[in-house]
C-alpha cells in the first residue's frame, strides 16, 4: 500500500452460522463478521475522479471513473463494483468528491464468506468519508446491496452487507431480514468458529441462486402470503424449497437460544438438520460439501454445516477450543483421503464491523 494515503476503511467478510436462503424471503439469519477483511487506503483529491488499484489484480492497473460512478469503459469484476457503489451513493446525495485509493483483501473469493460485501462496504465507507458525508450504517448497507445487484445481477438479500457493517466482537447477529432489527447474541468463549473450504470452486452459483429466489417468489404468490416467512409448515409440507425456508427460520431462532445457553447437543442437531435441508430440500449442496461435513462431524466438531449460497465453497464448524487444532487436523486428513481435495481453514471468531480512521 502507498505511504501517502492518509485514511483507511476496513470491512470484514462474514460467516453465516444459521439461516441460508432465508434473507431474501424476509426471514431470520445468524451471521457473524469475521477477522478477514477488505481494506481501502485512500485520500480525497481535488478532481472529480475516483482512481482505484487493487493488489489482487495489479495487471489491471488503476481504474479511473467519474466521482458519480460514471465510467467510459466499465469493466466487470471489482471495477464494476466500484462504479456501482459510487453511483448508488451519488443517487443518495454524495457530492462528487474525488478519491485515490488502493485496495487489499484477505477475504477469499468465491468461498461464501462475502468477499464482495466486504469490498463494497469498504469502498463505500471510504467514498463517504472522503466526501465528508456521513451516511447512516443501515443506509450504507442498503446502498451497497443495491450496487451488488447492479454490478453482478445477483439479487442478494440484506444479510451480507448488514453483517459487514454491524459486526460485533464475540457475538453473532440475530438478523430479522424484514424489519432489519439486529440483536447481538454472545458466542460462548469456549467455542471456536472456523470456515473450511472444500477446495472446489462454486459451480453455477449466480444463476442457480437467482433461480431459487424466483422459485420462492412464485411459491409465495401461489400460497397467497407476503413472504415465505409467513408460511406455515403445513402449507409447505409438499414444497421442498418452502419447507427449507420455513424450517430454517425456526432453526435460526433455536440456534440463537442454544448459543445463549451453550447447549452443544442442540447446536449439533440444528446444524445437522440445516445441512440436510439445504442438501435435500433446497438442493444447493455438493458431494464435496457433504463429504466435508461428514469428515468434520466424525472428527469431533461440536456442530458443522455448509454455509453460504452453496454449489461449492465452505462449511462452518463450531469447535471446542481445547482440542480445536486436533479436530481440524483429523477433518483435513479424512476429507482429503476421501476426495483428494485439500481443504483450507479460515478463522471466523466473531469480529467487529466496518471502521474508518487514520491509515
* Segment 129-141, tens digit of pLDDT: 999 999 999 999 9
pLDDT tens-digit map of 48-91 = 999 999 887 666 678 899 999 987 665 667 889 999 999 999 99
Q: Which residues are within 8 A (CB) of 143 and not within 5 positions of it... i.e. 6 or more apart? A: 85, 88, 89, 92, 124, 135
Phi, psi (rounded to 5 degrees) for 130: -60, -30
From the candidates 20, 26, 129, 160, which is the catalytic residue? 160
Domain extents in the chain: 7-183+351-358, 188-347
In what side-by-side order are the strands of the sheet with 63-66?
Answer: 63-66, 49-54, 98-105, 31-45, 7-16, 355-358
Domain 7-183+351-358 shares a fold with domain 188-347: no
Residue 187 is given by DSSP the state P
Question: Please, where are the H alpha helices in the chain?
Answer: 78-91, 115-130, 137-152, 159-166, 205-223, 240-261, 264-276, 287-298, 324-339
The answer to whether residue 243 scores a pLDDT higher than 50 is yes
What is the spatial distance between Cα 89 and Cα 98, in angstroms, rounded to a whole number? 13
**Domain 188-347 architecture:** 2-Layer Sandwich (3.30)
What is the spatial distance between Cα 301 and Cα 295, in angstroms, rounded to a whole number? 9
What is the spatial distance between Cα 29 and Cα 16, in angstroms, rounded to a whole number? 7
Higher pLDDT, 261 or 111: 261
Has 160 been annotated as catalytic? Answer: yes
The answer to whether residue 174 scores a pLDDT higher than 80 is yes
Does the reported pTM lie above 0.85? yes
Q: What is the dihedral of CA 314, 320, 324, 330, to 10 degrees?
A: -70
Phi, psi (rounded to 5 degrees) for 225: -115, 165
Phi, psi (rounded to 5 degrees) for 313: 95, -135
How far, in Å, are 14, 163, 192, 311, 324 from residue 321 at the CA level?
Answer: 20, 24, 6, 29, 5
**Domain 7-183+351-358 architecture:** 2-Layer Sandwich (3.30)
pLDDT, residue 2, reads: 44
pLDDT tens-digit map of 140-157 = 999 999 999 888 887 788
Amino acid at each position: 500500500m502507498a505511504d501517502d494515503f492518509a485514511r483507511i476503511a476496513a470491512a470484514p467478510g462474514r460467516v453465516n452460522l444459521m439461516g441460508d436462503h432465508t434473507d431474501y424471503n424476509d426471514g431470520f439469519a445468524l451471521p457473524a463478521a469475521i477477522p478477514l477483511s477488505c481494506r481501502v487506503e485512500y485520500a480525497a483529491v481535488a478532481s472529480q475522479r475516483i482512481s482505484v488499484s487493487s493488489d489482487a489484480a495489479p495487471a489491471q492497473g488503476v481504474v479511473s471513473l467519474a466521482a458519480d460512478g460514471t465510467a467510459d469503459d466499465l469493466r466487470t469484476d471489482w471495477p464494476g463494483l466500484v462504479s456501482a457503489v459510487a453511483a448508488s451513493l451519488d443517487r443518495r446525495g454524495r457530492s462528487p468528491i474525488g478519491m485515490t485509493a488502493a485496495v487489499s483483501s484477505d477475504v477469499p473469493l468465491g468461498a461464501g464468506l462475502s468477499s464482495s460485501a466486504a469490498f463494497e462496504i469498504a469502498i463505500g465507507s471510504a467514498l463517504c468519508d472522503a466526501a465528508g458525508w456521513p451516511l447512516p450504517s443501515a443506509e450504507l448497507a442498503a446502498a451497497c446491496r443495491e450496487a451488488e445487484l447492479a454490478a453482478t445481477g445477483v439479487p442478494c438479500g440484506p444479510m451480507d452487507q448488514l453483517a459487514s457493517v454491524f459486526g460485533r466482537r464475540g457475538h453473532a447477529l440475530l438478523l430479522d431480514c424484514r424489519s432489519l432489527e439486529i440483536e447481538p447474541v454472545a458466542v460462548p468463549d469456549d467455542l471456536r468458529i472456523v470456515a473450511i473450504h472444500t477446495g472446489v470452486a462454486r459451480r453455477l452459483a449466480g444463476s442457480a441462486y437467482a433461480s431459487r429466489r424466483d422459485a420462492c417468489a412464485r411459491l409465495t404468490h401461489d400460497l397467497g402470503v407476503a413472504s415465505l416467512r409467513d408460511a406455515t409448515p403445513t402449507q409447505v409440507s409438499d414444497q421442498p424449497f418452502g419447507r427449507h425456508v420455513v424450517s430454517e427460520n425456526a432453526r435460526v431462532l433455536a440456534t440463537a437460544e442454544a448459543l445463549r445457553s451453550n447447549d452443544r447437543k442442540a447446536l449439533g442437531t440444528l446444524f445437522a438438520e440445516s445441512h440436510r435441508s439445504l442438501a435435500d430440500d433446497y438442493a444447493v449442496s455438493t458431494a464435496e460439501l457433504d463429504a466435508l461435513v461428514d469428515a468434520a462431524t466424525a472428527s469431533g466438531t461440536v456442530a458443522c454445516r455448509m454455509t453460504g449460497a452453496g454449489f461449492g465453497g465452505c462449511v462452518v464448524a463450531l469447535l471446542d477450543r481445547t482440542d480445536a487444532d486436533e479436530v481440524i487436523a483429523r477433518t483435513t486428513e479424512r476429507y482429503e483421503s476421501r476426495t483428494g481435495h485439500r481443504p483450507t481453514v479460515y478463522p471466523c471468531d466473531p469480529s467487529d464491523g466496518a471502521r474508518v480512521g487514520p491509515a
